[in-house]
Amino acid sequence: MLLSLERVAMLKQLLLVAVLVIPYSQTQGRERTHLEQFAQPELCVYKAKLAAAGAWLRIEKHATTCNNIKYFWHGDETEYEITLVKEATCKGFETVLDPIKAGDTAYLECMEWDER
């Protein structure tokens, strides 16, 4: 039995809606996870991503100093989160490393890695 073109199109639309709605429905009823709740490895990965972003902003010249990096906040960030994001991004911005190395360095520093 062959599916008609209408049925195939309708099936694609239904699948698209399911893909978009299911992740959203999984987050309903849960509170947002704050950075204070992250385990050390999770926090270090987050700091590494921010450092890489800071280095990328410097390379692409989207900012000239740490003070003029534009941040877009949701509005429910804690003071700790704001400070952590700004410091980690600025640290990556001030490094002379490429974004990947800036992220790696930030991660290892956060995890207090010792290469013995």
Instruction: Please give the pLDDT value at position 49.
Output: 94
Q: State the Cα angle at 115 between 36 and 38, rounded to 5°.
A: 10
**pLDDT above 50: residue 1:** no
Q: Is the pLDDT of residue 3 over 60?
A: no
Q: Any idea where the domains of the chain sit in the sequence? A: 35-68+76-116
Neighbours of 12 (CB within 10 A): 10
**pLDDT tens track for 85-106:** 999 999 999 998 899 999 999 9
Q: How far apart are CA 56 and CA 43, in angstroms?
A: 20
Please give the pLDDT value at position 11.
63
Q: Which long-range contacts (CB under 8 A, 24 or more apart) does 75-78 make?
A: 76/32, 78/34, 78/35, 78/36
Residues 48, 107: contact at Cβ < 8 Å? Answer: yes
pTM (global) more than 0.95 = no
With a cut of 90, say whether residue 56 has pLDDT above it.
Answer: yes
Band of the pLDDT at 35, cuts 50, 70, 90? Answer: confident
